Homo-oligomer: A and B are copies of this chain.
Amino acid sequence: MLRLSSEDIEQGYALACQTVVESDVSISVPPQEKIERRLTTDRTVAEIEVPEGYDFARSQTVRRLTLMLTPPSMDDQTDDLSRLRIGMRQQADIGEIDISLPLLRKIGAVLREDDWRVTAILESESWDKPARSARLIDLRPGHELLNEPVWGAAIDIGTTTITLWVVDLVTGKVHAQVAEYNGQISRGEDVISRIVFSAKNGGSDQLRSLVLETINALLDRACKRVKITPDQVVKASIAGNSTMMHLLLGIPATSIRLAPFITAVNHLPLLSAHEVGLAINPEGVVDCLPGIASYVGADISAGVFSSGMSNTENLTLFLDVGTNGETVLGSREWLVTCACSAGPAFEGAGVIHGMRATKGAIEEVWVNSDTFEPTFRVIGGVKPRGLCGSGLISLLSEMFITGLVDKGGNINAHLGIPRVREGEHGLEYVIVWGQDSATGEDIVITHVDIDNLLRAKAAIYAGFTILADSVGIPLEAVEQVLIAGSFGKYINVEKAVQIGLLPDMPWERFQFLGNTAIRGAYYALLDKEAREEIRAVASRMTYIELSADNTFYDAFMSALFLPHTDISRFPSVEGVMSKT
């Protein structure tokens, strides 16, 4: 069951149990930690194509200039900075350059190191304007070749996972993709507990350090792979939800948590790496992408853009299945969004044997409708330790279809099977007996767990209905459902529909896009038009605050059933149920 990726196989990895030794071999067993890490990050690695028509010189805000300056003499005592300015004006038609004090400190030495031949890295929003002004990011001795890379990084700061790509801005090609758990997890699983922690004495600084440690370690790992140093990276674009963005920058996030739920800032100015604490070139540009509201952040603006939703004529429902359950409805014409605070149940929290989608997690369950015996698939093919989100959806759906639970989510106590028993938290169903689990303990799902899952899925589904109602369109009119989030990638649609998490519509309308936020950050990193479009998406999205919407409660209560109070909304489930 241990799956090897095509990358693994290329690198010469093989499963010992399935390999025939035909001659003398030398076998290297990778350290366990390495395997686990690869398993974690594999889940986020994606083949990414350079956007069509990408042109470094035309699409980028960053440019590289090679300049040949006249050396000073007794007859020409122009100061170093003016000499550089004059060179830029004459050789690149740049009117004004903005230069920081740290760069002023090194300019004299750099200009003289290779006899007044230098390479400048500049950033500007106004390359196309007649009065060009630019900010100097780096000045290096000598002349770099046209095809030498200029490095950038795209970053997505998820509450759970941080993803970082290292990109050559010249070609647009992604050279490394890495991911790791957000170091802040140790201080709280979800955004609310992080905000609470940040308000404690020193909490904000601690959270800031933790996220920076994770990012900088990722940067280091990715740069090692590409054989560069982190300070060669001159630009970074960052996506992430609003809380992650505030915590990264040390901006108090308290108002996000308290009514009326206001962020300090949605559209951040361009920052320098040294201000942010990012270990790229200290003068490197850090572009934090714009968010929409407290619970619909830059990850969603970036995701909506990269999913193509903001540029399609088809009515689209965009869903990031995660703690916040951000949902967007619309098309190129209009966009409306809400966040339904699903809670972290589908990420394994609030469920007694819930866990993240790593090795040992049950990711799919089948229940025999006669014997109620389960079979399951475990990530990594090892003994199970618990259930991840997709496993929980799968389990709940199977339990419902087989009658192990009723439409109210109550476990059927009258089946007379040992797997259903009275536990500490009321009735529970045993999926794995202790002798077969990694921990030696029984793996169960309790009545309380099921209640939590119902509340989570009800919140998400209620979000859909509120959005649809707000624009007076029936949910069935939705032409495509885009599911974002690396978690979303592993959901079994049929089962998600069966529990009423996803609306009931033909499967071909669903698309699983994986991490749309990092793709959006990547596009924003490369292309100033993409960046502008993400800004426009963030600005034109209408945010509906559900806690201020008094129809939300009704929608939520109606969705607290399997699949829904109004079964007619789920004709396919109705069909399945009538067969059983």
Chain B nearest Cβ from A19, distance in angstroms:
54
Interface readout for A253-294 with B: 1 if CB under 8 Å, 0 if not? 011000111111111110100011000000000000000011
Chain B nearest Cβ from A454, distance in angstroms:
27
A350 close to B (CB within 8 Å): no
A73 close to B (CB within 8 Å): yes
- Could you say which residues of chain B place their CB within 8 Å of the CB of A260? 72-74, 76-77
Stretch at the interface among A105-113, A214-222, A439-447, A559-567: A105-113
Interface readout for A60-76 with B: 1 if CB under 8 Å, 0 if not? 00000000000011111
A574 close to B (CB within 8 Å): no
A249 close to B (CB within 8 Å): yes
When the two chains form their complex, are residues B545 and A271 in contact, meaning their CB atoms are under 8 A apart? no
- Could you say which residues of chain B place their CB within 8 Å of the CB of A251? 101, 104-105, 108
When the two chains form their complex, are residues A252 and B99 in contact, meaning their CB atoms are under 8 A apart? no
- Could you say which residues of chain B place their CB within 8 Å of the CB of A99? 269
Chain B nearest Cβ from A370, distance in angstroms:
52
Chain B nearest Cβ from A265, distance in angstroms:
4
A543 close to B (CB within 8 Å): yes
Most B C-beta atoms less than 10 A away, residue of A108, A112, A266, A543: A108
A548 close to B (CB within 8 Å): yes
When the two chains form their complex, are residues A77 and B252 in contact, meaning their CB atoms are under 8 A apart? no
Residue of B nearest to A72 (CB): B262
When the two chains form their complex, are residues A250 and B545 in contact, meaning their CB atoms are under 8 A apart? no
CA distance A101 to B98 in the complex (A): 18
Residue of B nearest to A254 (CB): B108
When the two chains form their complex, are residues A264 and B107 in contact, meaning their CB atoms are under 8 A apart? yes
CA distance A147 to B101 in the complex (A): 35
Known contacts A82-B267, A99-B269, A269-B98: does B77 contact A262 (CB below 8 Å)?
A: yes
- Could you say which residues of chain B place their CB within 8 Å of the CB of A255? 80, 108, 112
Residue of B nearest to A262 (CB): B72
Known contacts A108-B255, A252-B108, A275-B101: does B77 contact A545 (CB below 8 Å)?
A: yes
A79 close to B (CB within 8 Å): yes
Chain B nearest Cβ from A286, distance in angstroms:
10
- Could you say which residues of chain B place their CB within 8 Å of the CB of A271? 101
A81 close to B (CB within 8 Å): yes
When the two chains form their complex, are residues B250 and A79 in contact, meaning their CB atoms are under 8 A apart? no
When the two chains form their complex, are residues B263 and A101 in contact, meaning their CB atoms are under 8 A apart? no
CA distance A545 to B77 in the complex (A): 9
Most B C-beta atoms less than 10 A away, residue of A77, A109, A294, A548: A77
CA distance A262 to B74 in the complex (A): 9
Known contacts A101-B249, A101-B271, A262-B72: does B293 contact A77 (CB below 8 Å)?
A: yes
Q: B77, B104, B259, B293: which contacts A264 (Cβ < 8 A)?
A: B104
Give the contacts of A79-127 with B (CB-CB under 8 A).
79-82, 98-101, 104-105, 107-109, 112
Residue of B nearest to A548 (CB): B74
When the two chains form their complex, are residues B73 and A104 in contact, meaning their CB atoms are under 8 A apart? no
When the two chains form their complex, are residues A267 and B81 in contact, meaning their CB atoms are under 8 A apart? yes
CA distance A81 to B246 in the complex (A): 13
Q: B79, B109, B293: which contacts A252 (Cβ < 8 A)?
A: B109
Known contacts A249-B104, A251-B105, A260-B72: does B265 contact A79 (CB below 8 Å)?
A: yes
- Could you say which residues of chain B place their CB within 8 Å of the CB of A80? 255, 262-265
Chain B nearest Cβ from A289, distance in angstroms:
14
CA distance A104 to B266 in the complex (A): 11
Residues of A within 8 A of B (CB): 72-82, 98-101, 104-105, 107-109, 112, 249-252, 254-255, 259-269, 271, 275-276, 293-294, 543, 545, 547-548
CB-based closest 5 A-B pairs: A74-B548, A81-B265, A79-B263, A108-B264, A79-B266
A-B contacts, 21 of them at CB < 8 A, read: A72-B262, A73-B260, A74-B260, A74-B545, A75-B548, A77-B293, A77-B294, A77-B543, A77-B545, A79-B266, A79-B267, A80-B263, A81-B265, A82-B265, A101-B249, A101-B275, A101-B276, A104-B251, A104-B265, A105-B249, A108-B252
- Excluding A80-B262, A105-B251, A109-B252, 20 further A-B contacts by CB distance (< 8 Å) are A72-B260, A74-B259, A74-B260, A75-B548, A77-B262, A79-B263, A79-B265, A80-B263, A80-B265, A81-B265, A82-B267, A100-B275, A101-B251, A101-B271, A101-B275, A104-B249, A104-B265, A107-B264, A107-B265, A108-B255
